[in-house]
C-alpha cells in the first residue's frame, strides 16, 4: 500500500461513516471505534531514521527560534510489480523548529493548499512551541523524490506557520507530510485546516475544510470553537461550540460535564455518554419527522416536546448547557 493510500485510509477512518462496518460493533462505543475516533496519536517514529544528530542536520539559530533543517535522504528502495519491475526511491526529511512562548504567545497553523499533511498538537507544561515536520516522498529516482519532498514545507510568518503539501500525486511521485507539535497547553491555538489536538487548556479555534476536513479534539478543556466536515470531540469540561458539515462524534468522559457544549451537525450527530450520566441536556432534530436513536441507559428518562428531547439528569444544571442539534439524526449510546 502506498504512503498516500494508507494516509487517506487513516484519515477517512477518523469519521464514523467510514468505520460503519466495524465487526466488533453491537451497541455502545466499541473498542474499534473508540480507537479510530478518539485513540492516541502523536506518533514521532515517522522520521526517526532521519533524526540522528550525527546525520548532519543544519541548525539555523535566530533570536526568535532555532531551525534544524535536515537533508532529504534515501531510506530504502522497493520494486513495483509488472513485467519489468522499476526501482522506486523513498525519501524522508525532518525539519524542526522551536519557538519561545514569549515571542509567539499564540500560534496560527494554516494549511495553504489543504494537501496531504497530518497535523498533531499535544499540550504540555512548557515554555515553547516545538515543531517537527516530516516530509515523505517516493519517486522513480533520487532526484525526483527529493524534488517532490521539497513540496512539503512549513514557513513562519510572524505568529503563523504556513503549511504546504501536495494534494494529488504528480506523475510517479507520492508525497505527504506529518507535523507534530508539542505546545504550551495554556496558549491560544488557531488551526486553519484538518488537525488533531490533545490536552490543550487555552483557547482553541479550528476551521477545517467543509468538505473532507477532519478535526479531532481530545481533552481540550478551554474555550473550543471548531468547524469542519467531520468533528470528533472527547472530554469532560470546557466551553465547546462545534459545527459539523457532515457529522459530529462526541464522547463525554465523565458523569458530569463541567461547562457547556453546543453542537450542530448537518449530518448525523453521535453522542456517547457514561452510564448513569448526571448532566442534563437537550436534543433537537430539525426534520419534520424527528430521527433520534437512543441505546443508552437513560433513554427512558427522555421527554419529548415536538422535535426536542430533554434529559434532566440530577437537576444540578440547566438542560440547555448541553445542546445537541442535527439536521438529519442523533444517536445516543453509552461508552463501554
Note the pLDDT tens digit of each residue in 150-172.
888 999 999 999 999 886 555 54
- Looking at per-residue pLDDT, the higher value among 116 and 296 belongs to 296
Tell me: pLDDT of 219 over 90: yes
Longest CA pairwise span in the chain (Å): 72
Which one of 138, 170, 185 terminates a domain?
Answer: 185
Q: How confident is the model at residue 192 (pLDDT cuts 50, 70, 90)?
A: very high
Q: How confident is the model at residue 253 (pLDDT cuts 50, 70, 90)?
A: very high
Would you tell me how many other CB atoms lie within 10 Å of the CB of residue 16?
21
Residues 263 and 162 grouped into a single domain: no
Assess contact for 229 and 210: CB atoms under 8 A.
Answer: yes
Classified as helix, coil or strand, 171 is: coil
- pLDDT value of residue 222: 96
- pLDDT value of residue 201: 98
Tell me: pLDDT of 82 over 80: no
pLDDT digits (tens, 9 = 90+) for 4-40: 333 333 333 333 333 333 333 345 677 777 777 887 7
Give the Cα-Cα-Cα angle 162, 165, 167 (nearest 5 degrees): 130
- pLDDT value of residue 29: 73
Q: How far is CA 164 from the centre of its chain?
A: 17
Assess contact for 133 and 154: CB atoms under 8 A.
Answer: yes
As beta bridge partners, residue 136 has: 92, 176
Query: What is the rounded distance in angstroms from the CA atom of residue 163 to the CA atom of residue 325?
Result: 33
Residues 205 and 150 grouped into a single domain: no
Residues 35 and 45 grouped into a single domain: no
Quick one: which of 136, 139, 126, 131 has its CA closest to 46?
A: 136
Only one residue has cell 513485467, namely 83
Residues 110 and 203 grouped into a single domain: no
Which one of 156, 185, 214 terminates a domain?
Answer: 185
- pLDDT value of residue 89: 75
- pLDDT value of residue 150: 86
Residues 253 and 236 grouped into a single domain: yes
- Looking at per-residue pLDDT, the higher value among 51 and 144 belongs to 144
The parent domain of residue 334 ranges over 1-39+188-336
Quick one: which of 282, 335, 276 has its CA closest to 312?
A: 282
pLDDT digits (tens, 9 = 90+) for 84-128: 445 567 788 888 899 999 999 999 999 876 667 889 999 999 999
Tell me: pLDDT of 213 over 60: yes
- pLDDT value of residue 87: 59
Q: What is the mean pLDDT of the chain?
A: 79
Q: Which of 94-98, 220-224, 264-268 is the least confident region?
A: 94-98
Q: How far is CA 103 from the centre of its chain?
A: 26
The count of structural domains within the chain is 2
Question: Does the predicted TM-score (pTM) go above 0.85?
Answer: no
Amino acid at each position: 500500500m502506498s504512503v498516500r493510500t494508507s494516509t487517506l485510509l487513516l484519515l477517512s477512518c477518523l469519521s464514523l461513516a467510514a468505520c460503519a462496518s466495524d465487526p466488533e460493533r453491537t451497541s455502545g462505543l466499541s473498542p474499534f471505534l473508540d480507537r479510530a475516533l478518539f485513540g492516541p496519536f502523536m506518533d514521532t517514529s515517522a522520521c526517526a531514521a532521519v533524526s540522528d544528530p550525527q546525520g548532519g542536520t543544519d541548525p539555523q539559530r535566530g533570536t526568535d527560534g532555532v531551525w534544524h533543517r535536515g537533508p532529504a535522504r534515501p531510506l530504502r528502495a522497493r520494486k513495483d510489480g509488472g513485467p519489468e519491475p522499476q526501482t522506486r526511491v523513498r525519501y524522508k526529511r525532518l525539519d524542526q523548529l522551536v519557538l519561545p512562548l514569549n515571542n509567539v504567545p499564540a500560534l496560527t497553523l494554516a494549511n495553504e493548499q489543504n494537501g496531504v499533511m497530518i497535523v498533531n498538537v499535544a499540550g504540555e507544561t512548557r515554555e515553547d512551541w516545538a515543531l517537527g515536520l516530516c516530509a515523505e516522498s517516493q519517486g522513480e529516482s533520487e532526484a525526483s523524490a527529493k524534488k517532490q519532498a521539497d513540496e512539503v514545507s512549513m514557513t513562519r510568518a510572524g505568529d503563523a506557520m504556513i503549511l504546504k503539501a501536495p494534494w494529488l500525486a504528480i506523475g510517479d511521485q507520492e508525497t505527504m507530510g506529518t507535523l507534530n507539535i508539542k505546545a504550551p497547553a495554556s496558549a491560544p491555538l488557531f488551526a486553519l485546516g484538518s488537525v488533531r489536538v490533545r490536552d490543550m487548556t487555552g483557547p482553541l479555534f479550528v476551521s477545517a475544510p467543509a468538505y473532507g476536513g477532519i478535526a479531532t479534539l481530545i481533552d481540550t478543556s478551554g474555550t473550543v470553537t471548531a468547524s469542519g466536515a467531520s468533528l470528533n470531540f472527547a472530554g469532560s469540561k470546557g466551553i465547546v461550540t462545534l459545527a459539523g458539515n457532515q457529522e459530529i462524534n462526541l464522547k463525554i468522559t465523565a458523569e458530569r460535564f463541567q461547562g457547556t457544549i453546543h453542537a450542530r451537525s448537518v449530518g448525523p450527530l453521535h453522542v456517547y455518554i457514561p452510564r448513569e450520566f448526571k448532566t442534563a441536556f437537550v436534543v433537537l432534530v430539525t426534520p419534520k419527522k424527528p430521527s433520534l436513536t437512543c441505546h443508552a441507559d437513560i433513554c427512558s428518562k427522555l421527554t419529548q416536546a415536538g422535535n426536542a428531547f430533554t434529559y434532566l439528569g440530577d437537576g444540578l444544571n440547566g438542560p440547555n448547557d448541553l445542546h445537541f442539534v442535527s439536521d438529519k439524526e442523533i444517536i445516543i449510546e453509552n461508552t463501554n
